[in-house]
Amino acid sequence: MNRSSVLRTDILAAAGAGAIAQACADAVSARLVGCGHADTAHPDARTGAGLLQEWEDFLAETRQSTRYNGARRFQARAAAVAAGAKDNWGEPVAALFSDTGVRALITGAARARGPWYGARRLSGLLPPLRCLSIPESGIVLGDQAAALDAVRRHLGALLDRGAVDRIDILNVPTDSALHAALARDLGGRFRVMSNDHVRHLRQLREPGSGAPIQQNSAKTRQSLRRKLRNLSDAFGGAFEFLRFDAPESTDRFVALAAEVTAHTYQVALNVGVKDDAPTRALARELAAEGLFRGYVFLGAGRPIAHVMGDLECGTFRLWATSFLPEWGRFSPGILLLDRVFDDLTEEGAERFDFGHGDAAYKRLLSTGSQTEADLTLYGPGKAAALAWAVHCVTVRCKSLLRQAAARWGVLDWLRKAGRGALRRMG
């Protein structure tokens, strides 16, 4: 018998799961397990608490744990939703595929929402879709053949049987077996949109030996040291590099980072670090687990640049970085990142993940890149077909404009000009 055919499916959701989670379980004849407060007191192997422990063990074994797919954070979200708290991402839902142990994991959020974000103004005309959103690293495969087949069958069944109308899967490497299976099989059965982008990476240590990598030439190192001295001299020597990783220090970091962000174009886009309760809570939570890292350049007591991210399984993942534009002539963002590379290497980190996006500083500082795709799969219904058509038109228009700007050599200039305009707009 094909091993994939004996993998059982357990779907975890908030206690008193919503209609979409119930439909997902019904579509694949899976057991629905509530993961609210009531489950934590029962450590039996097949209760919610037991499954969450199997989940954690699976991530530790595969070294694919990230802040997006951890069981403890999932449980906390599920408990909050079960207690009536609003979750802007939707109801947390996960599927575990097991035989003698977990072989694959899907974690995401389910909710009814309007059409693709590029068609917000049509929300009143198009009916809401039942959506399953799977974040970066939300699909983890262990035993490759069985796990891949189980995941592919599961996602196909959710669409085919109407449990959901649309599935969003973020940041799937285009050279991976998962991407090939989704594009080959599900792409042949359902309408699929693919938005490709580049993720830049910087290798900090040699794979295998773990030896630190000297990235910069002697000339570049000398240039960076000179720029750093000039920046320090501009503050009369009152210049500090600060690192934040303890739970009791994260509130201060968030306040400093938000102060920098408030003077950049990021605030006009409603991105970057915000000094609010959710950001502070997440930073404290990850710091308590030893994962949070925050870095700041402080000049004369004022923050002028920051870097924020998490370090897990040897990889530092960048969440946000920015610097005060008035000090841009000294390149404080580049100088801070260079100092962060050294700090992370000293504590044993293997790579720095800049995240997706093709910003000029990422191209400059990375040692490699990989192409990834955000996949959107639409089901067979009429509402899904209409939303897919709108999605196609808006994505195509955006792609043509971007290609034209790149062909004319003005893409980076347009980005810089746009950020300057947003900054002036506040």
Q: Amino acid letter at 417?
A: A
> Are 193 and 235 members of one domain?
no
Dihedral angle over CA of 313, 314, 319, 320, nearest 10: 160
Cα–Cα distance measured from residue 278 to residue 80, given in angstroms and rounded to the nearest whole number: 13
Across 14-160, the runs of DSSP E, i.e. the strands, are: 31-34, 91-98, 102-113, 129-134, 139-141
Same domain, 193 and 210: no
Do 192 and 305 fall into the same domain?
A: no
How many domains does the chain fold into?
A: 2
The per-residue pLDDT for 45 is 46
12 within domain boundaries: yes
Look over the chain and give the mean of its residue pLDDT values, rounded to a whole number: 85
b/e sequence 95-117, b meaning 16+ C-beta within 10 Å? bbbbeeebbbbbbbbbbebbbbe
Helix (H, G, I), strand (E, B) or coil at 237: coil
Question: Which residue in 352, 381, 327, 307 sits closest to 126, CA to CA?
Answer: 381
Does 120 fall in a domain? yes
CA–CA separation, 337 and 361 (whole Å): 10
Same domain, 231 and 125: no
Q: Is residue 287 in some structural domain?
A: yes
DSSP string, 239-285: EEEEEE-SGGGHHHHHHHHHHHHTTSGGGTTT-S---SHHHHHHHHH
Rounded to 5 degrees, what angle do the CA atoms 245, 249, 255 make?
110
Q: 413 in a domain, yes or no?
A: no
Contact between 358 and 366 under an 8 Å Cβ cutoff? The reply is no
pLDDT of residue 97: 95
pLDDT given for residue 357 in this prediction: 79
Task: Label residues 39-62 b or e (16+ Cβ within 10 Å = b).
Answer: beeeeeeebbbbbbebbbebbeee
Whole-number Å distance between alpha carbons of 223 and 246: 33
Q: What is the pLDDT of residue 110?
A: 92
Contact 240, 228 (CB under 8 A): no
Give backbone dihedrals phi and psi of 205, rounded to 5 degrees, phi first: -135, 150
Kindly state whether residue 417 falls inside one of the protein's structural domains.
no
Q: Verify that 244 and 133 share a domain, yes or no.
A: no
Does residue 192 lie in a domain region?
yes
CA distance 217 to 136: 34
Judge residue 301's burial from the number of C-beta atoms within 10 Å of its C-beta, 0-12 exposed, 13-18 middle, 19 or more buried. Answer: exposed
Question: What is residue 115's predicted lDDT score, i.e. its pLDDT?
Answer: 62
Burial category of 243 from C-beta neighbours within 10 Å (exposed 0-12, middle 13-18, buried 19 and up) = middle
Same domain (yes/no): 332, 254: yes
* Domain assignment of residue 296, given as a range: 205-349
Query: How much is the pLDDT for 295?
Result: 98
| Residues 151 and 256 reside in one and the same domain | no
How many Cβ atoms from other residues are within 10 Å of residue 330's Cβ?
A: 21
Residue 421 inside a domain? The answer is no
Cβ atoms of 107 and 141 closer than 8 Å: no
* Partners of 169 in beta bridges: 134, 375
Do 358 and 80 touch, CB atoms closer than 8 A?
Answer: no
> CA-CA distance, 13 to 33, in Å (whole number)?
6
Q: What is the CATH number of the domain that holds 72?
A: 3.40.630.30
Residue 311 lies in a domain: yes
Considering the domain architecture, whether residues 165 and 228 belong to the same structural domain is answered as: no
The residue ranges of the chain whose pLDDT is under 50 are 1-4, 37-45, 118-120, 422-423, 425-426
pTM exceeding 0.85? no
Task: Tell me the chain's radius of gyration from C-alpha atoms.
Answer: 23
* Nearest-angstrom CA–CA distance, 140 and 7: 15
Rounded distance between C-alpha atoms, residue 177 and residue 145, angstroms: 9
Same domain, 174 and 217: no
Q: Do both 11 and 155 map to the same domain?
A: yes
Buried residues in 122-145 as b, exposed as e (16+ CB within 10 A)? eeeeeeebbbbbbbbbbbbbbbee
Is there a single domain that holds both residue 98 and residue 140? yes
Q: Judge if 99 and 181 occupy the same domain.
A: yes
Beta bridge partners of 102: 98
β-sheet bridge partners, residue 195: 374
